[in-house]
Amino acid sequence: RLANAVTPLWRLPYQEQLQVKYESQRKILQTLTSCLEELGIDAQKAGGLCCPLQPVVPSPIINGYRNKSTFSVNRGPDGNPKTVGLYVGTGRGRNIVCVKANHVENIPSKHKQVAQCYEEFISCSPLDSCILFHEGGHWRELVVRTSSCGHTMAIITFHPQQLGQEALATQKALLREFFTRGPGAVCALTSLYFQESTMTRCSHEQSPYQLLHGAPHIFEELLGLKFRISPDAFFQVNTAGAEVLYQAVGELCQATEDTVLLDICCGTGEFLSSQSFAFQSWSSLLSKVIGVEVVEKAIEDAEWNAEFNGISNCEFHSGKAEAVLPQLLASWEDARPLVAVVNPSRAGLHSRVVRAIRNCRSIRSLLYISCKPEGEAMRNFLELCCPPDPRKKLAGEPFAPVLAIPFDMFPHTVHCELVLLFTR
C-alpha cells in the first residue's frame, strides 16, 4: 500500500513510466491551449497544442535517487506509536498509519538506515511521540539529506511542550551520544541537527536549527562545481536529474554577452552557479546574474557557493519574490536584455511576481520550471499570456509559449518537472 501511495508507477517498466508521464504532460498542454483559446488567443499550433511538446527526458538514476527524505512519527499498522516512516491513508477516512519505508524504491538505503536508527532511539526513550500537539508528546519528524560526496545530515524535530532547558539539554545529549558513540554511529552522520518546534513547519528564523554534532553544512557537486547546503535550503531532490535539467535550461536561455539572467526562487544558487558558469564559455556569454530567494540561509549558501567557485558577476536578494521583484524591476533602466528563470514551489508564483515580469519590457524570454503545471502554475501561464488587463494591472506585452520539455526528476511517481519556454 505504501509503495502504491508514494511511488504509484513502481510496477511499470521505466519506458512505460515515461510514456505515462508524456501523456499526462500532453493533457496539461491541451488544457493550457483550450484556456488560451477562451481568452481569444489563437493558440493551436501543429498537433493541436499551443507549442511543441518534446519527449520526456529520462532520469540518469531510477532507484534511490532522492537526496532528501522526510519521515513522520506516528502509529504503525501494529499500533506502535513510535513508528518512523511514511503515511498511508487519509485524515478524512481516519485510517492513517505510519509505514516503514524499507521497500520504497526512490529512497536510498542510507535514508532508510537513519530512519531505522531514529526509531530505535525513540523506542527506548521514556518520552512519547508527538502525534497530536494538544495531546502532548515530543518526538516528531526526521529529515535526512545526503550528497554524492558521502555526506549525511539528519534533522530531528522535537516538540518541547512544557520541558525546561535542563530537560531539553538532556535529550540533546542523549541524541548526540546515540548517533556518535551508540548504535546510531553506524549511520556515520556528518551533521546532526535538532529543532524545537511547536508548529507543523518551522523555519530557521522562527526556531533555529541547533547543531548537535558534525559540520553545519553538507556539500554537493553539480556540473563540476561545489555547493554548500544548509538544513532548510532548497536543492533539487534528484542531483543527477538536476544536472540534465540545468544543462538543457542553459541552452534554452540562448544568452549573449549582453544578457542579464534573473533567477527567481534561486534556492542555494545551484542553477545560477552550475548552469551559468559551469563552462568558461558561459561566464563570457552572460553579463550578470541576479538571484531572488526567500530563505535567508539559502542566500548565504548561494553567496558562499558563488565565491567558492570563483563567480564574481552575480548578486543575490533575500526576501519574498512578491516583495523584492516588483521593486527590483520597476527601477530597472538597464538597456541589456533580461532572461528570467522561475522555479517556484507547487503554489506557483504570486500574482505580483507575474505582474512585475509582464510589465518589465526588458524581459523577452521566460523559462518557467514547474513541478505541478496542472495546479496554480496554470494560473500563472494564463496571466503571462493573456491580453493586457487593466483590472489586474497587466499592462505589458503578453508572452507566448514556444516549447515544452518534461524532465523525469521523480521516477516511479506520477510527477514530472515541466520546462515551458515563453517569449514575446
Residues annotated as catalytic are 371
Q: Is the separation of the CB atoms in 213 and 176 below 8 Å?
A: yes
Distances (CA, A) of 44 to 39, 40, 386: 13, 11, 15
**Cβ contacts of residue 132 below 8 Å, gap of 6+?**
none
Cα 119 to Cα 188, 209, 265, distances in angstroms:
16, 21, 35
Using a 10 angstrom Cβ sphere, with 0-12 exposed, 13-18 middle and 19 or more buried, the burial of residue 201 is exposed
Query: Taking the mean position of all CA atoms in its chain, how far away is CA 8?
Result: 20
CB-based contact 224:301 (threshold 8 Å): no
DSSP for 155-205, please give it.
EEEE--TT--HHHHHHHHHHHHHHHHTSGGGGG--SEEEEEE-SSSS--TT
Query: If you search the block for the grid coordinates 510514456, which residue do you land on?
Result: 19
Chain centre to alpha carbon of residue 199: 21
Measured CA to CA, the distance from residue 339 to residue 261 in angstroms comes to 5
Q: Percent helix, strand and coil across the chain, each rounded to 5?
A: 35, 25, 40
User: Three cell numbers at 37?
Assistant: 483559446
Q: How far is CA 83 from the centre of its chain?
A: 26
CB count in 10 Å sphere of residue 199: 11
Q: Which of 389, 398, 340 is nearest to 43 (CA)?
A: 398
Amino acid identity at 277: F
Q: For residue 236, say whether it is annotated as part of any ligand binding site.
A: yes
Dihedral pair phi/psi, residue 53, rounded to 5°: -115, 115
Q: Is 354 helix (H, G, I), strand (E, B) or coil?
A: helix
Does the annotation place 293 within a ligand binding site? yes
3 state SS of 350: coil
**Secondary structure of residue 31 in the 3-state scheme:** helix
Phi, psi of 227, deg, nearest 5? -130, 135
Binding-site residue ranges for S-adenosyl-L-methionine: 236, 293, 343
